Amino acid sequence: MYRYDNGLRRALITIGITVTASLGLAACGTTDEGGHDGTHEATVEPEATFNAADVMFAQMMIPHHEQAVEMTELAPDRAEDPEVLRLAEKIKAAQDPEIELMTTWLTEWDQPLDPGGHDMAMGGMATPEQLADLTEAEGVEFDRMFVELMVAHHEGAIVMAEDVLANGTDPDVATLAEAIIQVQADEITELTAIQERL
């Protein structure tokens, strides 16, 4: 069963508790003047514990996780391999609370959930065509496709987590990023083993 480390558990406990009310954060917005394309950019006060890299990480990782959860929810009705079913349940159990946690952060930081303009930075995302094919697949065909897509998806998430560890400043974001790297690297190992025998 998936377990968070102590640091991540502490971070998850903060859901629903406003911890940044006194930071005086400046909201970001869109501007159609001065050559801007209408996408949002994070505006962070100097005394904040987080920076623009932390904001971008949460903004990107939420839809990234949401797609992974969408794929796992297909497994109960389509997968044949018991290990694929087990991993799908494990991935969903890990990523659902992480989505909730990152959503809470963005709300507390007064940052938009969907700023736009980050699509190209979300590595490993399945295309709409790939998701459609996965939805139509069953049995071993589903298992093989699920494993292939999820390995790529996890690899993309790890790159995003490594980037925020290098450039972010918020300790809770760093704790989550470290957990994502560890857990998803382990899952890639499991997925690859399944892939080799299917």
Q: What is the pLDDT of residue 4?
A: 41
Burial class (CB in 10 A: 0-12, 13-18, 19+), 108: middle
What are the tens digits of pLDDT across the range 55-88? 999 999 999 999 999 999 999 999 999 999 999 9
- Is 172's pLDDT higher than 80? yes
Looking at the domain that runs over 6-197, which CATH code has it been given? 1.20.1260.10
Tokens read off for 12:
């998850």
Please state, in angstroms and rounded to a whole number, the distance separating the CA atoms of residues 80 and 142.
Answer: 8
The pLDDT mean for the chain works out to: 83
Residue 5, C-beta contacts closer than 8 angstroms, at least 6 positions apart: 175, 179
Domain boundaries along the sequence of the chain: 6-197
- Tens of pLDDT, residue by residue over 19-29, are 333 333 333 33
**pLDDT at position 159 over 90:** yes
Give this prediction's pTM. 0.76
Q: Is 3 exposed, middle or buried (0-12, 13-18, 19+ CB in 10 A)?
A: exposed
Distance CA 130, CA 197 (A): 22
Mean pLDDT over 114-137 rounds to 86
CA nearest 188: which of 87, 59, 104, 46? 87
pLDDT at 94 over 70: yes
Distance CA(31)–CA(96), nearest Å, equals 33
Question: Dihedral, CA atoms, 129, 140, 76, 158, nearest 10 degrees?
Answer: -60
What percent of the chain is predicted at pLDDT more than 70?
Answer: 74
Cα–Cα distance for residue pair 80/41, rounded to 1 Å: 44
Angle (CA) 186 191 196, round 5°:
130
Residue 99 has pLDDT above 50, yes or no: yes
Q: Residue 91 pLDDT > 90, yes or no?
A: yes
Per-residue pLDDT band for 122 (boundaries 50, 70, 90) equals confident
Sign of torsion over alpha carbons 8, 10, 15, 18: negative
Give the per-residue pLDDT at 116.
Answer: 72
CB contact set of 37 (below 8 Å; sequence gap of 6+) = 117
